Every structure is written in structure tokens, then in C-alpha cells.
Amino acid sequence: GDKYMDEGTLYVARFNEDSTGTWLPLTLDSVTTSGGTLADHFNSLAEIIINTAGAADLVGATPMDRPEWCSVDPFTGSVYLTLTNN
């Protein structure tokens, strides 16, 4: 239901080659990779939430096809994911 998205910010991740990453907010003011904002593509936060994958692509998030499993190495902090779509 709508109660889960009544407040707060939806984030997506951009992972880098050096194992670092950045959380990217998905708001109407979020800057896209082309220099515009998500407001250039969506009329409301509700549209962004419904089209999360498209909004994530526009801000440069790392594509993740059907993540099924995740683990963090307790010694190095490395994160491992199993992606089952491709």
C-alpha cells in the first residue's frame, strides 16, 4: 500500500570499479547523466516510484538484473550479489 512510500527518499546505487559506491536519491530534483533533472522526464514522485528502473538509468545507477542473494565479507567489507536474469 501507499503507507510504505509516504515519507523518506528512494535511493539507487552506483557502484564503481574500485569497489566504492554512491547512493543516488530519486527525486524530481535529481540530476540525470545528461545534465537535466528527473523532473524533465517525470511529472511527480509517484511516476518516479512506478518507473524506478527508468529513473535509475537516467541518474546513472548501476543496473542490477534480479538480485537474488547478497553477502558482505566481514573482513574486507566487499559485497557479493547473485544476479539471476543475465
- What is the predicted pLDDT for the residue at 81? 84
User: What's the whole-number mean pLDDT along residues 10-14?
Assistant: 95
Tell me the residue type at 28: L
Dihedral angle at the C-alpha atoms of 80, 65, 86, 70, nearest 10 degrees?
20
Tell me the residue type at 69: W
pLDDT for 37-84, tens place per residue?
999 999 999 999 999 999 999 999 999 888 888 899 999 988 888 888
User: What's the whole-number mean pLDDT along residues 8-20?
Assistant: 91
Domain ranges of the chain: 2-83
pTM score over 0.75: yes
Dihedral angle at the C-alpha atoms of 59, 64, 70, 75, nearest 10 degrees?
-60
Q: Reduced to 3 states, what is the DSSP secondary structure of residue 25?
A: strand
Q: Do 27 and 39 form a contact (C-beta atoms < 8 A)? A: no
Rounded to whole angstroms, the Cα distance separating 39 from 15 reads 24
